[in-house]
Amino acid sequence: MANDTRSTAHHSISELVTGICLIIVSASFGFHSLVMERPGGWGTAPGLMPLILSIALFLLAVTICFSTIKGRIQPAKQTSQVGSIAQTLNDTHQHFGQAIKAACVTGLFYFVLLDLMPFEVAAILFYLAMTYLFWSSASLVRRLMVSIILPLVITIVFQVVLHMPLPGSGSLLEHFIYTIQR
Amino acid sequence: MAFDWTFILSVYGLATCFAGAGLGIIWGALPGLSVTMAMALLVGLTYTMPASLSIIFMIAVWTGAEFGGAISAILLNMPGTPSAVPTQLAGYPLAKRGEGGLAIGTALTFSMLGNWAGLFVLLLLAPVMIALALNFSSWEMFLLVTLGISISGSLTSGERPVKGWAMGCLGMLISMVGKDLIHGVDRFTFNISFFNAGIHYLPILIGLFGLAEALKVLNSSTPKSIPAKMGRLLPPLSFVMKYWQSALRSSAVGTFIGAIPGVGANIASYVSYSLGEQFTGRRFSRGDFEGVVCSEVANNANIGGGLLPTITLGIPGNSSSALIIASLALHGVVLGPTIESDQPGFLLFLYVALLLANIFMYLSALALIRPSIYLLSMPAGVVMPSVLMFCLIGTFAASYSSFDVAVMFVAGIIGFILNRQNYPFAPLVLGALLGPTADENLRRSILVNEGHYVDMLLRPIGLVLMIVIIWSIYYGITRSTKTARRPYSTDI
């Protein structure tokens, strides 16, 4: 019962935070719509539609916040699932942490590694990190094999078969093809 | 740009159709990867293709993936796609009894029949809808978009439609960023040059349906065992005779639900499944071929239904058809009532593509069912990083813009957080896609009808649309109030 209350409270807070974020977003859009220039009056003003939408979003966000505060609706679907609630709560936190890690690795791969090294090398590092995080049951050799083979397959498929450029500062395969063609 | 249907019969056309259907089946079969995710990730690949090949590919992927979900649902008790959950309920007990092969064969045959039904309705109603839509004024177009978003918000957000409507508004607000189409005024650009061209909806789509979904199923378990024996695959003809009533009913349900903006195959298969139980008086969850028929016919008929408002009005019937719009927009093809005059031959091309995709789906499935079962044992730790990689490459390939990749990334993270709180994505996507249409048409109707606003409000089509909008909002509010009075609520 205590865990049930904790889970509900946790989700109520996160719903409230989302509701407040939506209020801020709508207020910000609304303010900028009001100060936007109106060449042909309000009827055809560029800010008309955004203003209407901002007001609607503001009211909806306030409704979400109020209904969460009043606790009229059971907010979390997790609490209604079958199984141990303590386990569910633990899994939810663990999953959120894992997702954050995955997002960080992906961001690091695209915004940092791809600028520093060829696509294949960056992709191998990306796969190594991901398999380390999410495929811990596999042996190091298997993880290494997957981390090397998959980036190579992706590079060949995109550059040779589909003729599509890969993001970043170029790839070893691209460089190789260019050298051969010269 | 010309759409010549005979191109589909060329080697390129047939090979693309076969590859798309095969990829779709494999993708759909992999647990946790939805149809929309498959299309969102593959849409980037279509950028380098001609528009005609691109539409063949996307239609084939869609058709294949809608069926593919049934394979893992029946054999592994893990639905490949969310719309395959009812198939799992009725099909997995059959697999446990050693009739898994026949259950998959039934799903395949009736998926094909569902596709035919959807295509038939599309053929029948598309010209009527186009003729009707050509009479729409700016005011009616504005109301139609508002209706699409309000209905989508009401029906996709479970017990709290306010969340759906909030997402619709947010999507429309995002689409307002950039240069205003009428006066050329900068809106919400904050002097950042990247915002001048606006925020394109494709990275948002890939972020929401690719990145966010991948983060959601990152830790999903890998199937431990794969049944050694599947048994007979193709059902006897008597099955078609036996279940024709269910097939017909599910076709109607799937097509009708598909035509409602923003509502996809998930709802269609659930509604059809529960209607099937009510009509037959049996519990399909004990293992029943008729349950498989109801679910599979509905989610495949949904394709034709979903394409109806998409091609005739430019309003996506579901998230997958939003990706068809996105794929064609990459090639400058804009769907809507004027499609036949803008792109002569497009409708016939689409019908033939759907027809062939359906046939190839059947043939590819027969060839791929057994090998794809072994692919299902791939661990999520290998599949999910590849999905994340495809999100990045697909977004980059569509525009060669790192700003779009950043938008995709932010949309994915926000989508992941919103998804945990049961905020639906469909209204947001609809809003982001249709926001500029609503904005332009509202302001144009005010300009054209200046001083005659009462006449504008009393136009018959507009009046009907306004009544339906009010009804959809009223329906959402009353449903939400009823739920609030109950002590506990459960999401299915």
> Which one of A16, A48, A80 terminates a domain?
A80
A18 contacts on B by Cβ (under 8 Å): 417-418, 421, 423
Global ipTM: 0.83
**Same domain, yes or no: A69 and A121:** no
Q: How far is A96 from chain B (nearest CA, A)?
A: 9
CB < 8 Å from A in window 327-386 of B: 379-382, 384-386
- In a domain, residue A56? The reply is yes
- In a domain, residue A87? The reply is no
Distance of alpha carbon B408 from alpha carbon B413, whole angstroms = 9
B421·A154 Cβ contact <8 A: no
Going by DSSP bridges, is the β-strand pair B178-179/B186-187 parallel, antiparallel, or unpaired? antiparallel
Reference B292, options B242, B223, B225, B257; nearest CA is B242
Which of the residues in chain A have pLDDT under 70? 1-11, 72-94
**Same domain, yes or no: A111 and A71:** no
B154: left (phi over 0), alpha (psi -120 to 50) or beta: alpha
**Same domain, yes or no: A57 and A100:** no
Q: Which residues does B34 contact at the CB level (< 8 Å), separation at least 6? A: B81, B82, B209, B213
Does the beta carbon of B216 lie under 8 angstroms from any beta carbon of chain A? yes
**A37, A80, A110 ranked by CB distance to B490: nearest:** A80
Q: What is the pLDDT of residues B358-388, one digit of tens each?
A: 999 999 888 887 777 777 767 777 878 888 8
pLDDT at position A59: 94
Does the beta carbon of B477 lie under 8 angstroms from any beta carbon of chain A? no
pLDDT at position B358: 92
pLDDT at position B128: 87
- What is the gyration radius of the CA atoms in chain B, in angstroms? 22
Exposure b/e, B477-486, CB count within 10 A at least 16 = b = eebbeebeee
pLDDT band (50, 70, 90) for residue B227: low
Instruction: Report the residue count for chain B.
Output: 492
B188·A48 Cβ contact <8 A: no
Beta strand extents in B93-251 (DSSP E only): 178-179, 186-187
- In a domain, residue A85? The reply is no
**Same domain, yes or no: A12 and A67:** yes
Domain layout of chain B by residue ranges: 5-483
Q: Which domain holds residue A35?
A: 2-80
Please give the full DSSP string across chain A, using - where no structure is assigned.
Answer: -HHHHHHHHHHHHHHHHHHHHHHHHHHHHHHHHHHS--TT-GGG-TTHHHHHHHHHHHHHHHHHHHHHHHT-S---SGGGSSS-HHHHHHHHHHHHHHHHHHHHHHHHIIIIIHHHS-HHHHHHHHHHHHHHHH-TTS-HHHHHHHHHHHHHHHHHIIIIIS--PPSSS--HHHHHHHHHH-
> Taking the model in full, what pTM does it have?
0.80
Distance of alpha carbon B265 from alpha carbon B156, whole angstroms = 12
Does the beta carbon of B211 lie under 8 angstroms from any beta carbon of chain A? yes
**Same domain, yes or no: A42 and A112:** no
Show the tokens assigned to B274.
Answer: 């529960």
Q: What is the pLDDT of residues B434-470, one digit of tens each?
A: 888 889 889 888 888 877 788 888 888 889 889 988 9
Q: Give the containing element (helix H, strand E) for B256.
A: helix B244-259
Does the beta carbon of B438 lie under 8 angstroms from any beta carbon of chain A? yes
CB < 8 Å from B in window 91-120 of A: 94-96, 98-99, 102-103, 106-107, 109-111
Distance of alpha carbon B200 from alpha carbon B186, whole angstroms = 16
Average pLDDT value for residue range B379-406: 83
Distance of alpha carbon B92 from alpha carbon B101, whole angstroms = 11
- In a domain, residue A112? The reply is yes
| Interface mutation vs chain A, best among B421, B443, B444, B482, most A CBs within 10 Å | B421
Average pLDDT value for residue range B474-486: 72
Distance of alpha carbon A73 from alpha carbon A15, whole angstroms = 12
Q: What is the pLDDT of residues B247-302, one digit of tens each?
A: 999 999 888 888 877 667 777 888 888 888 888 888 888 888 999 999 999 989 98
B385·A126 Cβ contact <8 A: yes
pLDDT at position B488: 42
- 3-state DSSP of A121-168: HHHHHHHHHHHHHHCCCCCHHHHHHHHHHHHHHHHHHHHHHCCCCCCC
* Coil, helix or strand at residue B469: helix
Does the beta carbon of A125 lie under 8 angstroms from any beta carbon of chain B? no
Average pLDDT value for residue range B50-74: 88
> Which one of A30, A49, A80 terminates a domain?
A80
Show the tokens assigned to B250.
Answer: 């599910």
* Angle in degrees, CA B102, B104, B108, rounded to 5: 115
A102·B215 Cβ contact <8 A: yes
**Same domain, yes or no: A66 and A119:** no
B218·A134 Cβ contact <8 A: yes
B48·A37 Cβ contact <8 A: no
Stronger pLDDT, A174 or B79, i.e. the higher one: A174
Residue with tokens 């691109």: B54
**Mean pLDDT, rounded, of chain B:** 83
The phi and psi torsions of B186 (rounded to 5 degrees) equal -75, 130
Percent of chain B with pLDDT over 90: 14
Q: Note whether B73 and B30 are within 8 A (CB).
A: no
Reference B427, options B149, B43, B126, B136; nearest CA is B149
pLDDT band (50, 70, 90) for residue B59: very high
The total number of structural domains that make up chain A = 2
Residues pairing with B186 in the sheet? B179
Does the beta carbon of A75 lie under 8 angstroms from any beta carbon of chain B? yes
Sign of the alpha-carbon dihedral angle for A47, A50, A52, A58: negative
Is residue B182's pLDDT more than 70?
yes
**Same domain, yes or no: A119 and A177:** yes
B393·A164 Cβ contact <8 A: yes
A80·B45 Cβ contact <8 A: no
* Angle in degrees, CA B281, B284, B289, rounded to 5: 110
Does the beta carbon of B490 lie under 8 angstroms from any beta carbon of chain A? yes
Q: What is the pLDDT of residues B299-319, one digit of tens each?
A: 899 888 888 888 888 888 777
